């Protein structure tokens, strides 16, 4: 183990990090599930490919992104402060820097020492309710820290920036499906923090020539169980993993907040996208930028929504297990329908969410939950599950 400005730097299963000491093709990664992956890069020791920095690469979407890049043979470095990420989600063999993106000096060192020319930025606070309760976290962690990262990138010659944004920038939409021309009126500090960075990226692109893509997610879901990667949050707040935890007996029941929405079954409708499809979209966005594509914002969704009741029914069908449901009060601020129009991403990137049928998403997530349950030796804790409309 080595340090960089006093922070831990780890290259798992390889020699400790030393500036410019290791050619990329010395790394032979494996996933948390033990799958062998291609060696990083095909370039000899005399020349290293320009690398991609993934911030938040020990988190849910970030870890799947790293896996996608490694499978494609792309040199990659992970930075994560592990405040919401987990070491067990790190892809082994990929250089990992345990640091905060707010540390500009460390970010500049990592970017320069690892020949970074592109950043895919996931590191952020992402809980809507928390953002209302403690907005300081979001203005400091999502806005100020990202501006520090952008400045480090600019000072170090980074040319391309792919930003993990959110559908929360739209607030309560006036129409569905939502396209990128819809008004952006976020209704919570989380959405405001993401929109602020989108605006900063547009300014940086005009003033400094940094090319960017802001990818607005709707509802990431699913897993890559064979690779040992899945949705791991403490506490969990997303609908599909909550329902699957109830199927495992870890929660006693699922609470549905409202059955009086103007939808076919009275429950909220959301657009779910497989996490591996999201990773593919990020790589396509980066490739497009590197080929001269214009900067801008892009929705990542399927164009098809599924209700809370439909998700629960699909989980019952896939798992073959009973899932108890109780009805709760409708919550203020929950729009009845949130569905994306992904046409801009389809046209620009040729991207298709090919894994994002609801049955495939639930089946892949369930496989990961079963794998994790088999690893656990203690009895499941029984508690009430609250089905978040996210």
Q: Give the per-residue pLDDT at 34.
A: 59
Q: Give the per-residue pLDDT at 325.
A: 96
pTM of the model: 0.86
123 and 212 part of one domain: yes
165 and 180 part of one domain: yes
125 and 230 part of one domain: no
135 and 192 part of one domain: yes
Q: What angle do CA 110, 73, 55 make, to 5 degrees?
A: 35
71 and 84 part of one domain: yes
Q: Give the per-residue pLDDT at 317.
A: 98
* Encoded tokens for 181: 């021309």
267 and 277 part of one domain: no
* Encoded tokens for 14: 């390889």
Q: Say if 349 falls within a structural domain.
A: no
- Residue 57 belongs to domain spanning: 2-221+273-300
Q: Indicate the pLDDT class of residue 163, thresholds 50, 70 and 90.
A: very high
Is residue 107 within 8 A of residue 86, CB to CB? The reply is: no
Is residue 11 within 8 A of residue 22, CB to CB? The reply is: yes
pLDDT tens digits along 330-373:
877 678 899 999 999 999 999 999 999 999 999 999 999 999 99
314 and 284 part of one domain: no
In the predicted model, is pLDDT for residue 17 greater than 60?
no
In the predicted model, is pLDDT for residue 26 greater than 70?
no
- Number of domains the chain is built from: 2
Question: Residue 150 pairs with which residues in a beta bridge?
Answer: none
Say if residue 235 is preceded by a cis peptide, omega within 30 of 0: yes
91 and 197 part of one domain: yes
Strand-pair category, 7-11 with 2-4: antiparallel
Separation of alpha carbons 308 and 331, rounded Å: 14
Closest CA to 202 of 214, 185, 191, 189: 214
Q: Say if 348 falls within a structural domain.
A: no
Q: Say if 344 falls within a structural domain.
A: no
Separation of alpha carbons 8 and 10, rounded Å: 7
Q: Give me the catalytic one of 60, 190, 204, 217.
A: 190
Q: Indicate the pLDDT class of residue 36, thresholds 50, 70 and 90.
A: low
155 and 18 part of one domain: yes
Q: What are phi and psi of 243, to 5 degrees?
A: -65, -40
User: Domain holding 33: CATH number?
Assistant: 3.40.50.720
260 and 284 part of one domain: no
Q: Indicate the pLDDT class of residue 38, thresholds 50, 70 and 90.
A: low
Q: Say if 230 falls within a structural domain.
A: yes
Closest CA to 308 of 358, 354, 234, 273: 358
108 and 152 part of one domain: yes
Separation of alpha carbons 247 and 316, rounded Å: 8
| 190 is a catalytic site residue | yes
Q: Say if 178 falls within a structural domain.
A: yes
Closest CA to 196 of 135, 154, 250, 284: 135
Residue with tokens 């989108």: 198
Q: Give the per-residue pLDDT at 331.
A: 75
Q: Say if 240 falls within a structural domain.
A: yes
234 and 137 part of one domain: no
Separation of alpha carbons 279 and 122, rounded Å: 11
Q: Say if 329 falls within a structural domain.
A: yes
User: Domain holding 237: CATH number?
Assistant: 3.90.25.10
Q: Say if 345 falls within a structural domain.
A: no
């Amino acid at each position: 183990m080595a340090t960089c400005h006093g922070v831990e730097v780890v290259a798992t299963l390889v020699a400790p990090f030393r500036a410019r000491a290791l050619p990329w093709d010395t790394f032979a990664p494996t996933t948390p599930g033990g799958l062998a992956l291609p060696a990083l890069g095909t370039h000899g020791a005399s020349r290293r490919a320009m690398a991609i920095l993934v911030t938040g690469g020990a988190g849910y979407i970030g870890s799947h992104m790293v896996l996608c890049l490694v499978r494609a043979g792309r040199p990659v470095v992970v930075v994560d402060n592990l405040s919401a990420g987990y070491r067990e989600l790190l892809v082994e063999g990929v250089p990992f820097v345990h640091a905060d993106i707010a540390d500009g000096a460390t970010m500049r060192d990592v970017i320069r020492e690892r020949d970074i020319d592109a950043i895919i930025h996931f590191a952020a606070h992402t809980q809507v309710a928390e953002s209302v309760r403690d907005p300081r976290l979001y203005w400091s962690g999502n806005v100020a820290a990202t501006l520090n990262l952008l400045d480090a990138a600019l000072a170090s010659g980074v040319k391309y920036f792919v930003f993990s944004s959110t559908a929360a920038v739209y607030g309560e939409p006036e129409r569905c499906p939502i396209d990128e021309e819809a008004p952006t009126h976020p209704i919570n500090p989380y959405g405001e923090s993401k929109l602020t960075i989108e605006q900063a990226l547009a300014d940086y692109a005009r003033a400094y020539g940094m090319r960017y893509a802001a990818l607005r997610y709707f509802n990431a879901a699913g897993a890559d169980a064979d690779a040992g990667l899945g949705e791991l949050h403490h506490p969990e707040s997303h609908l599909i993993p909550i329902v699957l935890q109830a199927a495992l007996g870890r929660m006693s029941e699922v609470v549905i907040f409202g059955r009086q929405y103007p939808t076919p079954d009275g429950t909220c409708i959301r657009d779910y996208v497989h996490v591996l499809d999201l990773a593919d979209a990020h790589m396509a966005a980066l490739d497009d930028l590197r080929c001269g594509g214009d900067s801008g914002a892009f929705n990542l969704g399927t164009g098809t929504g599924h209700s809370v009741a439909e998700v629960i029914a699909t989980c019952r069908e896939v798992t073959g297990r009973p899932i108890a449901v109780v009805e709760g009060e409708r919550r203020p601020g929950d729009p009845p329908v949130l569905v994306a129009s992904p046409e801009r991403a389809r046209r620009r990137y040729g991207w298709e969410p090919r894994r994002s049928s609801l049955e495939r998403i639930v089946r892949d997530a369930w496989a990961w939950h079963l794998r994790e349950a088999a690893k656990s030796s203690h009895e499941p804790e029984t508690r009430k599950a609250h089905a978040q409309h996210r």
